[in-house]
Amino acid sequence: MFERETRIGRPVRVMSLGFLPTPDFETVAAIVDREARAPVDLVVLPETWHATATSEPQTLEGPVIACMRQAARRNNTYLVCPLDRTDGRDRWNSAVLIDRRGDIAGVYDKVYVFWDEFKKQPTVRNGSVVPVFQCDFGRVGLAICFDVNFPEPWQLMARQGAELVIWPSAYSAGTSLQAHALMHHYYIVTSTQRCDCTAIDITGRQILYQQHPGLNVARVTLDLDRGIYHQDSAQDKFRRLLAEHAGEVEAEPFMNKEGWHVVQARKPGVSVRALASQYEIEDLRDYIPRSLREIDVMRGGPPRAMS
């Protein structure tokens, strides 16, 4: 079960499902219904999970997505449904984001297609866009399996303000994902064909790993209000914030070697990010790009584009 709801910070409750062997999509919808009785904000399914039961690629109007849209609506949750997708002509390895009303909120097509996917008929096409989607709890990015090996999608999601990245996959990846979370300071949650789930903190730490043969149901609550702030130029402001809001926010006692403050709220209704803005303390994800632009200028060149 999820931990007791506190509403401190900006919590999002994520449930990752994995299954071996893969059941039909009606059975998966029944699993979602059963396991989402504890309130959940986002359900995640593994990469192309339906392919063993429905070997043909599916359209966005087909029975798999129709069934998952109904499950999302019944349970008042967002749902990430990976899909071996076709429009009747071309084929993609996609992740479909469905909102709480059961509407399709967005589609991500895998940018870095794996070698075996090129051998399929019709062949799987590379995606070309890395979007980030605004959900009612925060900004969500999507990546799929082989994407983990290449930095560009992860950089693009960070530049668009992703707070949480969902990674459906055929395998687990391990520390590769931790590296992306560490560099870009968003949470990452996985759902894989290995029947496991990993949740990674904005600091790059693994905060959950769960594997269970047959059916894996992993739950984690993440605080999207937590932030990382650099110690370089804001020490006085930071000390004043902590002193004037003692008992409302706290700095977590680690990452001094990195020169980072990791800060979270400790009182309902308090936002670390709002207070940091009030005290003119720059989030690390803003501080590093700004530093890069200003260093470019000091070197005598134009500031590089960050989009």
Q: Does 205 have pLDDT greater than 70?
A: yes
Q: What is the pTM for the complete model shown?
A: 0.94
**Angstrom distance (rounded) from CA 53 to CA 237:** 57
Q: How confident is the model over 271-299, as pLDDT tens digits?
A: 999 999 999 999 998 888 888 889 999 99
The model's pLDDT over 125-166, given as tens digits with 9 standing for 90+, comes to 999 999 999 999 999 999 999 999 999 999 999 999 999 999
Quote the CA–CA distance of 110 and 193 in Å, as a whole number: 16
- Residue 2 CA to residue 16 CA, distance in Å, equals 12
User: In this structure, are strands 164-169 and 138-142 parallel, antiparallel, or unpaired?
Assistant: parallel
pLDDT for the residue 1: 44
Write down the CATH number for the domain with range 11-223. Answer: 3.60.110.10
Identity of residue 22:
T
Mean pLDDT across 186-215: 97
Nearest to 66 by CA among 30, 94, 26: 26
DSSP β-ladder status, 215-223 and 227-230: unpaired
If one compares 305 and 266, the residue with the highest pLDDT of the two is: 266
Coil, helix or strand for 18?
Answer: strand
pLDDT score, position 303: 72
State the pLDDT at residue 2. Answer: 43
Q: Is 299 left (phi over 0), alpha (psi -120 to 50) or beta?
A: alpha
Q: Which residues pair with 95 in a beta bridge?
A: 82, 108
Residues of the chain with CATH 3.60.110.10: 11-223
| Arithmetic mean of pLDDT over the chain | 92
Q: What is the CA radius of gyration of the chain?
A: 20
